[in-house]
Amino acid sequence: MKSSLQKFKESYFLYSFKRDKVAMASFIAILIFIALAITAPWIAPMNPYDSNNIDIMNSEIAPSWTKGGQADFPLGTDNMGRDMLSTMLYGLRTSIMIGIGAVSLQALIGIFMGLSAGYLGGKTDAILMRIADIQFSFPYLMLAILVGAIFQIVFGISRYEQLAVPLLILIIGFAEWPMYARTIRASVMREKNKEYVEAAKVIGLSKPVIMVRHVLPNSLTSLMVISTIQIANAVMSEAALSFLGLGMPVTMPSLGSLIRSGFDYIFSGSWWITVFPGILLILFVLAINLLGDWLRDVLNPKLYKD
């Protein structure tokens, strides 16, 4: 019964996916971006992390099709003389890595908190949800910036830059877990009183087992919807932090820190250092948001009601 329902959902899912050109296009775009990010070390013309490849004499070369451009650097070079295309590919890699890492952490904390709150109920529920509420009322970006700032002062700038990737994952992960916790709790509350959970109780399964094996799978649709939105948010947060100088250092730039370093040169006319990574960032986030919109429309539990 359950598997046939699952199949129906999948087929409907697939059917509407095939019909929606925007959803297909954005999904393909995301796959391409991820492929580019994974293969960056092999497909990038040069390694921007290796200082042997960098010649300061090559700094601020315009894109190859404009005046003063060189064929070696199709999208020009940045202020340190790195090939823009290669640096952007590596930057995309870093941005995606941090985005996915942070969302995984969010999901981990959020699901644990949400399951505990929803299933144990009573005081645990009240306290955990109170914490989530309070944190929720505080803008996540503000929180991320504050925590980032404190970390940077505690560790010192150079140590912070070395540890940037794990620290950013930690910061963004902790800043937005309540989103997951709330969603999970809501679906747990919904599922909790259904017959199959009662049945599981009767045959003597323990609470944690019921939660993880029976309740969690039924929350998967809502998890999928928020995860897409959260990845877009996390990538944007990372870019914002890096832009403020609280994220990836210029030597190992993410898209955000590339934009930041380009901003200083925009007044002198070197627009490409900002514009290209900017476009890449927008396209990536846009693709995720479009797919997220579509997912929300298709999986919206409201639509199943009648």
Partner 1 sequence: MFAFIIRRTLQAIMVMLVISLIGFSIKSNIGDPVRDLVGERVTPAERAAIADKLGLNDPFFIQYTRFVKNVLHGDFGTSLIYRKPCLEVILKHAPATIELVLGAALIIILISLPLGVFSALKPKHLFSRFIMGFSTLGVSIPVFLTAIMFIYLFAVTLGWLPSYGRGETVDIFNNGYWNSGFLTIDGLKHLVLPCISLASIMLPLYIRLIRSEMMEVLETEYIKYAWAKGLSPKRIWLVHAFKNTLLPVVTVFGLQIGIMFAFTILTETVFQWQGMGFMFLEAIQRADISLLIAYLVVVASVFVLVNTLVDIFYGFINPTVRIAGTK
1: exposed, middle or buried (C-beta count within 10 Å: 0-12, 13-18, 19+)?
A: exposed
Q: How far apart are CA 39 and CA 263, in angstroms?
A: 28
| Residue 215-234 contact track with partner 1, rule CB under 8 A, x = bound | -----------------x--
CB of 82 to partner 1, least distance (A): 20
Query: Is there binding between residue 278 and partner 1 (CB under 8 A)?
Result: yes
Q: How far apart are CA 148 and CA 300, in angstroms?
A: 35
C-alpha closest to that of 145 among 165, 166, 174: 174
**Two structure tokens written together for 226:** 């928020």
Query: Is there binding between residue 153 and partner 1 (CB under 8 A)?
Result: yes
Query: Is there binding between residue 43 and partner 1 (CB under 8 A)?
Result: no
Query: Is there binding between residue 139 and partner 1 (CB under 8 A)?
Result: yes
CB of 133 to partner 1, least distance (A): 9
- Cβ closer to partner 1: 58 or 94? 94
Query: Is there binding between residue 250 and partner 1 (CB under 8 A)?
Result: no
Per rule CB under 8 A, count of chain residues that contact partner 1: 37
Query: Is there binding between residue 141 and partner 1 (CB under 8 A)?
Result: yes
The residues with which 83 forms a beta bridge, in sequence order, are 77
C-alpha closest to that of 104 among 94, 93, 112, 116: 112
The letter for the amino acid at 127 is I
Q: How far apart are CA 162 and CA 142, in angstroms?
A: 23
Residue entry with tokens 């007044």: 267
The residues with which 77 forms a beta bridge, in sequence order, are 83
Alpha carbon dihedral 211, 214, 215, 216, in 10-degree steps, equals 90
CB of 50 to partner 1, least distance (A): 28
Q: Which of 14, 127, 142, 220 binds partner 1 (CB under 8 A)?
A: 142
Q: Which of 223, 246, 258, 295 binds partner 1 (CB under 8 A)?
A: 246
Query: Is there binding between residue 175 and partner 1 (CB under 8 A)?
Result: no
Q: Which positions lie near partner 1, rule CB under 8 A? A: 134, 137-142, 145-146, 149-150, 152-154, 232, 236, 239-240, 243-246, 256, 259, 263, 266-267, 271, 274, 278, 281-282, 285-286, 289-290, 293
